[in-house]
Chains A and B, each alone.
Chain A
Amino acid sequence: MNPFAEYAIAFLLLLGGAFTLIGAIGLARLPDFFTRLHGPTKATTLGVGAIMLSSVIYFTARGDGIGISEVLITVFLFMTAPVSANILAKAAMHIGVKTMDGTEGKPWEQ
């Protein structure tokens, strides 16, 4: 395999792993429910995106053709992450989850 492709794959795998780890740390460390929502929607999305990209490069470099299914997984993930975050936030507002001290503004009642 082309050494340049190998470096790219290794770099992307490390980047993806790091972001997924940081997303998980955020889930454990951030102070309240609403701030925790931010971890999975961002850091983890990029993490999985980077891992998928490395998979695409690996299979392309091996000459198996471009892996369209990986691209599709990424697209589905980018489409569904905001929806699930939105539903979680709505549910939390509905049952009145407490926000951390110092939060500006309030969730509204409907």
Chain B
Amino acid sequence: MSVLVWIEQSNNQAVPSSWETLGKARELADALGTELAAVVMGAETAATAAAAGQYGADVVYAIASPLLAEYRLSAYVAGLEKAVQGAGATVLLASATTRGRELSAAVACRLDAGIAPDATDLRIEGGKLAAVRPVYSNNLLVDITFDGDLQVASVRPRSFPMPVAGDAKAAVKELDLGLGEDDIAEKILDVQPSDGAGVDLADARIVVAAGRGVVEDPEKGFALVSDLAAAMGAAVGASRAAVDAGFVPYRYQVGQTGKTVRPDVYFAVGISGAIQHMAGMSGSKVIVAINRDADAPIFERAAYGVVGDLYEILPALTAELKKRLG
């Protein structure tokens, strides 16, 4: 028996939210009294496998193959299934990145196991995994309980703190993928970055998001929002109103039909706080609202607020932060 966590790699580097999941998995394994196993797949695995030991894994399954150089679902499914069998896993977790969500679900289905997708909390109850996950576009929460021997969940990034790396070493066990190129249905023809530069919204500790208030003078508004974000190393987001106005692409959109974020701090700039927007960011620890309308609903959800013209407040705020944070 063991708790097994897929440590996702991108360009042979571990995806940081995988460590958050591994940190929580350590608690779950201790509660179950089982071993904590990690699995690393890719063209190279050594550095990430060693790091998995430092972040708490007792044993690491490494599946290194040139066929895994690029992520392909069917090849990664085959590898993860081998690791589940090798580890005798009863709980399988992955960070709920796009890949983590599809890979964990595909393996769960193949192994006839239940899955809690995009879970925001996990616990052990009666010797089995139980998960909390948002449904109805973050308007409701539900507890997922499992029947069956294998219990699978993908874990929404930033649901758990980043664990502290120690100097522990895990036993690394190499597994053979056991596939040839002809066994893999998908062929990757090209890979391009899609997000450009900047901090990824899902992983961001701080988000600065712009709404309808910026549409008045979008060029200036987004420049001011970007300046404020840059001063704090924050990611830039937008409400649907700002995206629909056409000044930033859809990938910036936070809300019911966009991305869900849960940063430590969310700056809502010129965002009124429509319920559809709140659905995507209400998991933020602290909301700071900057709005010219003192009656905007965002102030009911925010911890801190400033009423004023964002074109005046933002430059002042950026200047003050630069002064204070260096």
Q: Do A and B bind each other?
A: no
Contact surface of A with B, Cβ cutoff 8 Å: none
Contact surface of B with A, Cβ cutoff 8 Å: none
